[in-house]
Chains A and B, each alone.
Chain A
Amino acid sequence: MTSAGCGAPAGGATATSAGSQAIVQGRVTQNGSAVATGYARLLNSGGDFVAEVPLGDDGGFRFFAAPGSWTLRVLAPGGVRAERTVSADVGQVTELEVAV
């Protein structure tokens, strides 16, 4: 990931450790298999949209949030929707597995 722009690679930018970031990441599966076509949306505690990434080939997603409580919403073809609440903390990677 370069620092030049807003580009979000599918699945989110690469991070090796949280450092000063508050990372929320995970994977979307259906019947145990990765959901590779779909979108993960991050909503703030007020329910407002904050960010969205396309799912990676492994169904993965990653967000660099602020500390606090967030809602993760997954959209996939066929009207598939799923939602999870998650909290993020600086220096931590919060892992989330979403089965749809």
Chain B
Amino acid sequence: MSRSDVLVDADWVEAHHGDPGVVLVEVDEDTSAYDKGHIRDAVKIDWKTDLQDPVRRDFVDKAGFEALLSERGISNDDTVVLYGGNNNWFAAYAYWYFKLYGHQNVKLLDGGRKKWELDSREIVTDVPHRAATSYRAQEQDSSIRAFRDEAVAAIGKLNLVDVRSPDEFAGRLLAPAHLPQEQAQRGGHIPTAKNVPWSKAAEEDGTFKSDDALRTLYGNEAGLDFGKDTIAYCRIGERSAHTWFVLHELLGQANVKNYDGSWTEYGSLVGVPITLGDAP
């Protein structure tokens, strides 16, 4: 796996516009962003209504994912190019989610919607029509998804990467600063977790930093042991999917899991250890 296998730039998207077998998909934190304008021929996936089970706290099941992609006109053989706002935050989450259900050929548009907009590239409101398909998903790939017991068992043994902001890590905030403060019962972080805010992996225009800069960030600066397995978490598993993308897809770390239950689950569990303050 290398950078060119998993990332494309805006020129690539424009050069391949209209190619059969290439599907552009916008997945945005702001789920109304697509409706106000998007890259021509992009289809929309709503991270909340399309990807979350409406009742239980979990993802849509395999049949639900198959129905979603079939309805959006996405085939198993298609190259899916995902993009979104805020440094591709939710697009990276969708990337991980597509991988979870075994989609082979998926890429991120480097810089996402923000760089596209800041570069003044074309945004349209026309909604494309794609013929329905018969998509077949794989069973969830458990090698990239961690559950709460694995997070607890990882304390002091594996790399735990808390990718929230320093204030959330320390327990001073319970949510990112653009959202009302609510959610978990307790603040803080999982003991021994290193704090590497997800956004440090991105440049200001939303593109990913170079591989060398990323290795320095996670290895030399944060002290991650690349020889150990890693679990990344945040508040609800989206920001940590971005870090999972960096560690697993860009840097090629073998065993990296995203704990999507994350702090909203862990910080409400009874009896688990919690550390407060800035130190791991």
Using CB atoms and an 8 Å cutoff, list the residues of chain A in contact with chain B. Answer: 1, 3-10, 12-13, 15, 20-21, 37-39, 41-42, 44, 48-54, 57, 62-66, 75-78
**B249 in the interface (beta carbon within 8 A):** no
Closest CB in chain A relative to B38 CB, distance in Å: 13
Of the listed stretches B8-16, B233-241, B266-274, chain A binds B233-241
A53 close to B118 (CB less than 8 A): no
Q: Cβ of A49: which chain B residues have Cβ within 8 Å of it?
A: 197, 199-200
Interface size range of chain B in the complex? 35 or more
A21 close to B181 (CB less than 8 A): yes
**B32 in the interface (beta carbon within 8 A):** yes
A42 close to B173 (CB less than 8 A): no
Q: Kindly state the separation between the CA atoms of A15 and B50 in the bound complex, as whole angstroms.
A: 26
Q: Kindly state the separation between the CA atoms of A20 and B202 in the bound complex, as whole angstroms.
A: 31
Report B62-76 CB contacts with A as 1/0, cut-off 8 Å.
Answer: 000000000000000
Which of B85, B117, B235 meets A77, CB within 8 Å?
A: B117
B residues 144-189 near A (Cβ < 8 Å) are 165-167, 172-173, 175-183
Closest CB in chain A relative to B163 CB, distance in Å: 12
Using CB atoms and an 8 Å cutoff, list the residues of chain B in contact with chain A. Answer: 29-33, 36, 47-48, 52, 85-87, 89-90, 114, 117-120, 165-167, 172-173, 175-183, 197, 199-200, 204-205, 235-236, 238-239
Q: Tell me the dominant secondary structure on chain A's binding face.
A: loop
A54 close to B179 (CB less than 8 A): no
Q: Cβ of B182: which chain A residues have Cβ within 8 Å of it?
A: 3
Q: Kindly state the separation between the CA atoms of A8 and B123 in the bound complex, as whole angstroms.
A: 20
